[in-house]
Chain A
């Protein structure tokens, strides 16, 4: 039995660790990417159920990544939680994504929200 994958794209390692922990607590397999370009590359190969995306990233902006997710066919079922420190940005992206959380993000809150988005476990082998 394999847990669904949750990809955390966050350049701040502390926050990335907290987000990953919250998602694990919500019974996700977690993977953390800290750079935008790396994230885009990784998204070509994986099909996460949930992505926690920081908009403020080095190299490639969070918006570009969001655009990639929305247009990639294999990511059509992927749910995206935006994590941003900019409330104005949050309002702007509210319609484009499933969930926008403004930093500071509560560990409990993220865990509970992610749990709601969690698809059923898939049977492997």
Chain B
């Protein structure tokens, strides 16, 4: 309710200063009364609906009453203010009517003024038009001064311009003024009227000339000027001068309007003046420009000529550059190093032939391509590109001093690479230049050197020689620096020598040789290199010979002496020298003892030297043959023989022997000599000449004796054959007749007569056997006995023997048996008659020497290549000392046995020789009182007939 009322109040604008209209007031009052009615109803309604307490309602009601009362008070005071204002408004309306009347009057006056002003503006416009045309300053100033005088209706005017250089005002343009005033007017700033206008920038009117206190211009005294108006000429913010208009008329006085009018002109004038000045300046500038253009043209002409020259020079330079480029191209192409350049994409922009060749392509083909186009090794290509890009990105040089790569054909190489950034004109790195050197050879050389050093070190450390380095300082201090182990040589550990330099001279060197070693050290101290041999005592007490060879160097900086030495064990050499010395002494003694003559010849046969114990050995005296050739000394045949010997010795490398006869001085019979020639050096031959005359004689005697012996032997064989032959015939007669007697051809014999005939027959057979054996022996000795090889049955041999000998055995009551192996081969190759002879002989002997018991003949095969005949008896046996001898001719155990047992003593010897002839073997096993066993071993294959 309050709100609605308040809203209504607001609606009627109670707050406005303007009082509300009466009908509004009426509406308001009605509204208020209605509102109160509504309020009561509302209150009731509220009371009913809200059950608000009447106290509270009363309070609310009181508040509303108070509020309404205040509003009525406020409205009443506002109404009074409105009534006062209406009165004031009526008064203002009257004043306005008065002002309008005055305004109408002023409009008439103003219209007349505007008409004049319009005319003036037209003049100004004309002036403006005139002076905007480009004119010289003089023309502009002339027009301006005339127009200024016309504008203000006077006779004279002037324009004074400020000379900025000396801060003075002078008349630059004038109208109606005398030349005198124009010429002499010169004002300082602040001086006279125009000076003051310039000083303050404000117009000045002086209508009281010439008495005006500020007017001071002596030049203007006689011009008759009475009024004076001066306005500043302002261009931009700068005062450039004044526009002055004067009047000589008595009644004329300048006003503010004149100033405004003149200001308008002055504004235009300032622009025109500045324009004219600018024009003047432009004119001047154009003239200057023209002049400068002319000058410039001349300059350009000169410059052009210079330019032509420069172009020519440039062309020359360009040609030189082209040649230089070609030269550089050649330089990089003949360069064995790889030279290339790459852009940011890894494309080659430059390459030399060596590089292209490494990629098996041409330079032209390489340009624009990348490593990946040629190198199948992806890892390597990535590595190249990484390095190259690093150089381009960082702009830093990259040096790879050693890089192992495997080239496109799989060979291993070492390379040295330099990669350098190349910047373009703007200093931005766009390319990388690479120079790659193949250092494989150097690496190999280094490797070889390293290996060589290694080997050298190995040699140094492995040789048994002792290598040392001793430093002797200027102060005399000795320091041992040992390079190789000393142990193998001295047996002492290295440290001893390193710690104590005196150990060597005082403990190691053999006492007797210390002086020698000291002398060597003195040499070293004198700076002389030296090699000395002396003895030393090893740690195990052995005394050995050493050679100490040292080289001395002086260090110029420290003054120290350095001794570099090698100590070698020369014991073996010393011993060899000693042996050699002894050997030489022995040889010399031997040579002295030899009676022979020795010559030394060169290869051409010139006598170089000789050695003899007696001077008379020689064919001619030594003085005559020394230095001479064989040809000049010996008879031609002999000289030639010697030379042949030298040649043959050279060819064969062996000693040559030559025997010759020669007459020597003092003898008529030639003597025999033997020359032995042997090469003794590069161009030397030693000839030993021996007198062999006596030996020759002895040899001759021996030859004769041998011939005699041979003749005797032959005679013996012949004699034996003859004897054999000649004995057989009478033996045949004896045997034949005795047998005929025995057989009874000549009549029957008594028993007593049979005995002697039998004895004769036995003796004859024994004699015959004797003759046969002698003949066999003779033939064996003479080597004439030959085997008659053929096939035979060995069993038959045994059987024949047994049957032949059976009677003989029976006579002695001995049993003779045969033991024949069943596997004996048949036939066997051999001389059956001789084998029969062997067996008969052995069996006969057995029977002969055996007194009781038995004799057994055995036939068997002891191995696959032999067969054997064995005869065992139960006889007395053969003493072991005699067992070898019985196989020799006439080798029966003793002579008594021969006599006792009969026989030549040749039988067993012949058997032995026959067995040997058959490449067989005969052995004997015998025990005394037990018996003997003879075994004949014969080869199954009797292939070769062999002379005895």
Binding site for B on A (CB under 8 A): 12, 14-15, 18-19, 21-22, 25, 56, 85-88, 91, 94, 102-108
Contacts and interface: CB of A to CB of B under 8 A. Distances in A.
A15 B721 contact: no
B725 A107 contact: no
B754 to A, nearest CB: 14
Interface string B719-752: 0010011101101111111011001010000000
A14 B739 contact: no
Contacts of B721: 86, 88
Name which of A56, A85, A103 has the most chain B CB atoms within 10 A of its CB: A103
A34 B732 CA distance: 16
Contact of A104 (B728, B740, B745, B775): B728
A18 B728 contact: no
A107 B739 contact: yes
A15 B729 CA distance: 8
B739 A106 contact: yes
A108 to B, nearest CB: 6
B737 A104 contact: no
Given A85-B724, A85-B725, A25 B745 contact: yes
Interface in B826-869: none
A115 to B, nearest CB: 14
A104 to B, nearest CB: 4
A94 B786 CA distance: 14
B914 to A, nearest CB: 14
A21 to B, nearest CB: 6
Q: Kindly list the 6 A-B residue pairs having the minimum CB-CB distance in the complex, ordered from nearest.
A: A18-B736, A104-B732, A107-B739, A103-B728, A85-B728, A104-B731
B735 A21 contact: no
Contact of B733 (A12, A87, A91): A12
Given A21-B745, A85-B724, A91-B788, A105 B729 contact: no
B736 A104 contact: yes
Contact of A14 (B736, B768, B775): B736
Given A21-B745, A85-B724, A105 B772 contact: no
Given A15-B733, A15-B736, A87-B772, A104 B764 contact: yes
Interface in B33-91: none
19 contacts: A12-B729, A15-B729, A22-B736, A25-B743, A85-B726, A85-B729, A86-B725, A87-B724, A87-B772, A88-B779, A91-B788, A103-B731, A103-B732, A104-B732, A104-B768, A105-B736, A106-B736, A106-B739, A107-B743
B162 to A, nearest CB: 186
Given A18-B740, A21-B740, A87-B772, A104 B724 contact: no
B732 A15 contact: yes
Nearest to B733: A14
Given A91-B788, A107-B743, A18 B737 contact: yes
Interface in B763-805: 764, 768, 772, 775, 779, 784, 788
A12 B731 CA distance: 12
Interface residues of B, number: 24
Contacts of A19: 736
A22 B729 CA distance: 16
Given A18-B740, A85-B729, A107 B724 contact: no
B396 to A, nearest CB: 120
A31 to B, nearest CB: 18
A9 to B, nearest CB: 15
Contacts of A15: 729, 732-733, 736
Contacts of B732: 12, 14-15, 18, 85, 103-105
A58 to B, nearest CB: 14
A91 B786 CA distance: 10
Q: Which label, helix, strand, loop or mixed, suits the secondary structure of the B interface?
A: helix
Nearest to A103: B728
B329 to A, nearest CB: 111
Q: Which label, helix, strand, loop or mixed, suits the secondary structure of the A interface?
A: helix
A88 B779 CA distance: 10
Name which of A14, A102, A107, A108 has the most chain B CB atoms within 10 A of its CB: A107
Interface in B690-738: 721, 724-726, 728-729, 731-737
Nearest to A15: B732
Name which of B721, B729, B733, B736 has the most chain A CB atoms within 10 A of its CB: B736
A106 to B, nearest CB: 6
A113 to B, nearest CB: 14
A86 B779 CA distance: 12
B552 to A, nearest CB: 96
A58 B634 CA distance: 65
Contacts of A107: 735-736, 739-740, 743
A93 B740 CA distance: 28
Contacts of B739: 106-108
Nearest to B734: A104
A21 B725 CA distance: 23
A25 B745 CA distance: 9
Contacts of B734: 104
A114 B740 CA distance: 16
Nearest to A14: B733
Given A18-B737, A86-B721, A108-B743, A103 B729 contact: yes
Contacts of A105: 732, 735-736
Given A14-B733, A104-B731, A87 B740 contact: no
Given A104-B768, A107-B735, 16 more contacts: A15-B729, A15-B733, A21-B740, A25-B743, A85-B724, A85-B726, A86-B725, A87-B775, A103-B729, A104-B733, A104-B734, A104-B736, A105-B736, A106-B735, A106-B736, A106-B739
B404 to A, nearest CB: 97
A56 B725 CA distance: 10
Contacts of A88: 721, 779, 784
Contacts of B740: 18, 21, 107
Nearest to A87: B775
A19 B729 CA distance: 12
B801 to A, nearest CB: 18
Name which of A12, A25, A94, A108 has the most chain B CB atoms within 10 A of its CB: A108
Nearest to B788: A91
B746 to A, nearest CB: 10
A6 B729 CA distance: 21
A13 B375 CA distance: 127
Nearest to B740: A107
Interface in B884-920: none
B734 to A, nearest CB: 7
Nearest to A105: B732
B740 to A, nearest CB: 6
A86 to B, nearest CB: 6
Contacts of B745: 21, 25
A25 B772 CA distance: 28
A17 to B, nearest CB: 8
A119 to B, nearest CB: 24
